[in-house]
Amino acid sequence: MDWVNAIVQGIFVGGLYALFATGLSLIFGVMRLVNIAHGDLIILAAFLSLAVVDGLNIHPLVSLVIVVPVMAAFGYALQRGILNFTLGKDILPPLLVTFGLSVIIQNALLETFSADSQRLQAGAIETASIPIGQGLAIGVLPLIIFVTAIVVIGGLQFVFYQTTLGRVFRATSDDAVTARTMGIDKSHVFALAMALALAVVAIAGVLMGIRTNFDPAVGPARLLFAFEAVIMGGLGNLWGTLAGGIILGVAQAIGAQINPGWQILAGHIAFLIVLVIRPNGLFPRIQG
């Protein structure tokens, strides 16, 4: 029973990893930009929510109404104002610039919110759970996070394959020059993609902030698993990212069940195995 429980909980943790990774996957899919500041942007969203919650005295989930548009607007401005200038043949400038951005966000948060470990108070849903017998119980919050991951990815998938905006994204991603001859403004499209990615980051940040503590310095730690989930799932494939996240979560749960020392290692080993068998990830849609 312990094993069943471990795997079930691992799947739910996988949902969290997938949510962390979706924004990263989206940005890479559209513009081949590796965003080193992704983890810090998640933390930024969590702090933003904290400020809104404290200021307006509302539930953290309600704060999404404000945090999501603000982060999206920030994403648009960030892409148009800075990141577009770094994109080109060389992959190094965007890496360096987002790395710098990561340092700036951390220190700005430290100055504004101090180094205290914070958490978004969500009341009873934090600890509520649904018992399903024989010592097995599913936490309400992990369930919400998992369902949110599926809904977010489903929604993005819809946008990408059923709407004009999605066609524009895919066209720009496939061949920016030809897309331009069709009257597509690359800078605007990339900025929209970043806005969409940061809207997802906002959701991930708020849910993470309800789940556990965060502080200005914790962002980079959230980046590694997101990268692994993206790469395992296959670059540019959002459902693949969900699969990658779940594989990572379950592998860690199984490792932990054997010995907690193997928890993180088991995730990395699963990552290596996938890379050895399928160097492009499980379900690649584009060639990296």
Partner 1 sequence: MSKLIGKRKSGLIEIGGSLSRRRFIKASALGAAGLAGAGTLTRPRLARANDTITIGYVSPQTGPLAPFAEADDYILAGIREVLADGIDVDGTMHPVEILVRDSQSNPSRASEVAADLILGDEVNMIVVSSTPETTNPVSDQCEINEVPCVSTVAPWQPWFFTRGGDPEAGFEFTYHFFWGLEDVIAVFTDMWSQLETNQSVGGLFPNDGDGNAWGDPELGFPPVLANLGYTLTDPGRYQNLTDDFTAQISAFKDASAEIVTGVVIPPDWTTFWTQSAQQGFRPKIASIGKALLFPVAVEALGDTGNNLSSEVWWSPSHPFSSSLTGQSAAEVAEGYTSATGRQWTQPIGFAHALFEVAVDALRRSGDPTDYYAVTDAVATTDINSVVGPIRWGDGPVRNVAKTPLVGGQWRLGGEFPYELVITSNEQAPEIPTASTMEPIS
**Shortest gap between Cβ of 128 and partner 1 (angstroms)?**
7
The 10 Å Cβ neighbour count of residue 269 is: 13
Would you say 135 or 279 has its CB closer to partner 1? 135
Measured from the CB atom, is 136 or 171 closer to partner 1? Answer: 136
CB of 120 to partner 1, least distance (A): 9
For partner 1, the closer of residues 127 and 163 by Cβ is 127
219 DSSP assignment: H
Closest distance between partner 1 and the C-beta of residue 201, in Å? Answer: 17
Q: Give me the least distance between CB of 116 and partner 1, in Å please.
A: 4
Nearer to partner 1, 191 or 250 (CB): 250
Give whichever of 131 and 183 is closer to partner 1, judged by the CB atom. Answer: 131
- Minimum distance from residue 285 beta carbon to partner 1 (Å): 27
Residue 235 CB, shortest distance to partner 1, in Å, is 24
Question: Distance between CA 123 and CA 120 in Å, rounded?
Answer: 9
Which residues neighbour 256 within 8 Å (Cβ) at sequence distance 6 or greater?
A: 6, 262, 263, 266
- How far is it, in rounded angstroms, from Cα 102 to Cα 93? 14
Contacts of 214 (CB under 8 A, 6+ apart): 43, 46, 47, 117, 118, 119, 208
In the bound state with partner 1, the residue whose beta carbon lies nearer, of 125 and 171, is: 125
**Distance separating alpha carbons of residues 40 and 36, to the nearest angstrom:** 8
Least Å distance, CB 11 to partner 1, is 10
Calpha distance 71→64 (Å, rounded): 10
- The least CB distance from residue 156 to partner 1, in Å, is 23
* CB of 48 or CB of 168, closer to partner 1: 48
Position 154: which residue type? G
**Identity of the amino acid at 94:** P
3-class SS at 59?
Answer: coil
* CB half-sphere exposure, 36, CA atoms < 13 A: 17
Nearer to partner 1, 75 or 142 (CB): 142
With H, G, I as helix, E, B as strand and everything else as coil, classify residue 111. Answer: helix
DSSP for 128-164, written as a single string: -EEE-STT-EEEHHHHHHHHHHHHHHHHHHHHHHHSH
Task: Enumerate binding residues for partner 1 (CB under 8 A).
Answer: 2, 5-6, 9-10, 13, 16-17, 107, 110, 114-119, 121, 123, 126-129, 131, 135, 137-142, 211-215, 217-218, 221, 249, 252-253, 256-257, 259-261, 263-264
